[in-house]
Structure 1
């Protein structure tokens, strides 16, 4: 389908070689699992969607390319890493002839989808930013994917004129699932969305079951956040200026015992910390963190810059954000230590505040429960019900209330063999 790979005769041979190497690496990483996705990634000239970037950057399997920043230098649009794009396309299970809506335009992913749906299919890509829409159109035209329909609109409303869709693939971090996305889905369609729950993002495959959505798969991911009416900002609680911050996503319980009190937590950080060890091996950490995030009554992500970590004020696990259990003026977060004589690590807890011993014990018990009951389990079941659904008819689990949905996250145990 593509002829644009020969537009620049100086780089085309090298680009093709790098593209083949990227496909091989993505196979080794397990991101590519089907020949259809391998063929699409092996065909689309990714460098044409990253003009001005070195070829090695364009074809780095785990490297995103920022395409626009806001006035503060924060990335608000990017060409996602091919690794996560491959994972999401495998999750989508796109077949020839399908009608696909992509939410969040960059051009490259839409071209991959066009390869998968073929000439009988239809690809619509929507973005709220006119600069991104213009850029996507130009890149798609340069790569000979003019059949992709790029629309300027707020994706909160979907694209009703092009519906229904067999697949809705979201390429921006979403805090909620607007009704339009499921309303414009065919009966057996799928929504693949980087979904943020309690500050933790997973790319979730949803299918419709009756009046709600049920997950079929989820994977760890990271995306720039949604803009427009679907945007949702985290609450940032400073514990040591801007250098140590507790990020809180959904509103927490009004129970005074659970409420996040910035002043008390700032004082707690300066208190001597308690350290407790769980006996739980430090692996499968992404799944473990998701378990903690859906079982801690009050929860946030503790993040720290290099200075406080180097001073020993905060553990190194806070560098990228670590799941943190909060209870009033005390908090606890995960850490690790090497197990002597092995190459593995043990999971432990650092806790601060007047109730440090209690919150450390609570966190350790969560670690041990996950290890005992869910380490070898099927993972979480994520269900999104319409907002206002009575709690009495929801399944048991962690209920996360959003604008359009009530999300229930439950953890079935492994079936007895």
Structure 2
């Protein structure tokens, strides 16, 4: 039978909700996601675990984990309480403050309670969701915990909530492919729209500021969200390279390339090249994703089914690899581990390509990676702007224009290191 310190450790009481909440707040401050005293006070006040009943305390207060609250018939998550990290930085992106009128799109209850704490008794909070099960749950939990002032609406996010507008902040907590005109119309001049926007297959939480009928980004953060349902939901287009589900190239808009051409591409030898661009294993490179999405016309995301993998391609990440199609060839970004002389671990970016033009395509992608390394690595990243869909080309600026159903999104990069 164990004795001594081991017995004491095994019989130690489980951490309390209060201690786990404080640990969560400490992690958020350490990561730099939490800087606002008002948001910190709200995180300390609202009992997250009581908005995620049936979930172990450790999971409820994990600073980087979302809590699923509803699955569809296929077991796919359709609603969740977002990770504290994302909820925190979105509140700070929106600069939510005392007395503001805030609309939350995508309901769960907990985030609306946080917003209510931050805006205080002089502010207003509306939370909406298309799923009546979700809004019923949110309303019940909010009332149980004394947040009767939060207005809960069941409806399609595309319409907004006109009778509660104008809003100082609209906080979207579901993945969106487009920006609904109602969101712009119902936002105050100078107000902020924080939205997890998918552009060219990449999702970023973007804090836009309204300037007339135009939105301009103020901050951009990497994120992941359950996709929006309703009138503005949008599916990715998938090109199956081999005619099976082994290799899928996912396009956000129209599919580039001819499937039969790429079927032939996989019959050619794989061309591989390495860029000489290295990074630490934990160093972020999200701006590289956006750089390639801006620079490559045929940009897409490659995914490989593990159970069908025959080794035609060999990406470092089978589930998400930056890729591009050009004519009858396609290429993708990968990486390999390196060990420095001091024993530290690094990785080097490389490019693999298949098809008749594989060498040219691979070297082109590699050159773009090297250009990012020279000009934008460590910089602040691009600026996004959103215009009404009818805006003519001569009124747009930026290296890439993406036209969606309601809006035209532009991506502009700041002056390069050599120019700045």
Length-normalised TM-score, structure 2: 0.91
Aligned equivalents of 2:250, 2:393: Cα separation in 1: 27
Query: How is 1:162-177 mapped onto 2 (pairs within 5 angstroms)?
Result: 162-177=164-179
Partner of 2:246: 243
Matches of 1:328 and 1:50, distance apart in 2: 49
CA RMSD of aligned residues (A): 1.8
* Equivalent pair of 1:378/1:413 in contact (CA under 8 Å): no
Q: Determine the C-alpha separation between the residues in 1 that align with 2:337 and 2:14.
A: 47
Taking the aligned partners of 1:108 and 1:396, their CA distance within structure 2 comes to 38
Query: In the alignment, is the contact (CA less than 8 A) between 1:248 and 1:299 conserved in 2?
Result: yes
Query: Greater CA deviation, 231-240 or 175-184?
Result: 231-240
> Secondary structure in 1 aligned to 2:231?
helix
1:18: how far off? 1.1
Shift of 1:381: 0.9
SS at match of 1:228: coil
- In structure 2, the residue matched to 1:395 is 397
Contact 1:377 1:413 in 2 (8 A): no
Q: 1:261 aligns with which of 209, 233, 258?
A: 258
What displacement does 1:156 show?
A: 0.3
How far apart in 2 are the matches of 1:12 and 1:79? 23
Work out the number of aligned pairs and report it.
400
Query: 1:4-403 alignment to 2 at 5 Å?
Result: 14-240=16-242, 241-251=244-254, 259-282=256-279, 283-307=283-307, 311-341=310-340, 342-403=344-405
Is the CA contact (8 Å cut-off) linking 2:100 and 2:123 kept in structure 1? Answer: yes
- Contact persistence 1:236–1:245 (CA under 8 A): yes
Instruction: Mark the CA change 1:152 to 1:274 in structure 2 (over 3 Å): closer, same or farther.
Output: same
Q: 1:160-209 CA distances to partner (integer Å, 9 max, x unpaired)?
A: 01001000000000111011101111112100000000010000000112
Is the 1:349–1:363 contact (alpha carbons within 8 Å) kept by the matching residues of 2?
A: yes
The answer on whether the counterparts of 1:378 and 1:414 sit within 8 Å (CA) in structure 2 is: no
Distance 1:338 1:16, change over 3 A: same
After superposition, the Cα gap between the structure-2 partners of 1:396 and 1:60, relative to the gap in structure 1 and judged at 3 Å, is: closer
Provide the rounded CA distance (Å) in 1 between the counterparts of 2:246 and 2:149: 48
SS at match of 1:362: helix
Of 191-200 and 205-214, more deviation after overlay is shown by 205-214
Greater shift, 283-292 or 96-105, is seen at: 283-292
**Is this contact kept in 1: 2:169–2:187, CA < 8 A?**
yes
Query: How far apart, CA to CA, are the structure 2 residues paired with 1:58 and 1:226?
Result: 23
The answer for the alignment partner of 2:409 in structure 1 is 407
Q: Distance in 2 between matches of 1:47 and 1:380?
A: 37
**SS of aligned partner of 1:339:** strand
- The alpha-carbon deviation at position 312 of structure 1 amounts to 3.4
Unaligned runs of 5+ in 1: 1-10, 253-258
1:105-147, Cα deviation, whole Å (9 max, x unpaired): 0111111101100011000001111111101111112222121
CA deviation digits over 1:206-253, x for unaligned, max 9?
A: 01123311001100000011100010010122235223211111125x
Partner Cα separation in structure 2 for residue 127 and residue 294 of structure 1: 32
How far is the alpha carbon of 1:271 from its aligned partner? Answer: 3.1
Say whether the 8 Å CA contact 1:100–1:122 is kept in structure 2: yes
Aligned mates of 2:77, 2:33 — CA distance in 1: 25
- Asked if structure 1 preserves the Cα contact closer than 8 Å seen for 2:184 and 2:213, the reply is no
- Give the SS at the match of 2:174: coil
Contact 1:302 1:318 in 2 (8 A): no
Aligned to 1:7: none
Paired with 2:273 and 2:227, the residues of 1 have a C-alpha distance of 35
Rounded to whole Å, the distance in 2 between the matches of 1:143 and 1:14 is: 19
Task: Please report the TM-score for the alignment, with normalisation by the length of structure 1.
Answer: 0.92
Instruction: Report the more deviating stretch, 334-343 or 145-154.
Output: 334-343
Seen in structure 2, the aligned counterparts of structure 1 residues 162 and 132 have a Cα distance that, compared at 3 Å, is same
Aligned equivalents of 2:288, 2:271: Cα separation in 1: 21
Q: What secondary structure does 1:116 align onto?
A: helix
Change (3 A) 1:181 1:262: same
Q: Secondary structure at the match of 1:395?
A: coil
Please give the secondary structure, in 2, of the residue aligned with 1:66.
Answer: strand
The 3 A distance-change label for structure 1 pair 147 and 216 is: same
Contact 1:190 1:208 in 2 (8 A): yes
C-alpha change, 1:244 and 1:128, in structure 2 (3 Å) is: same
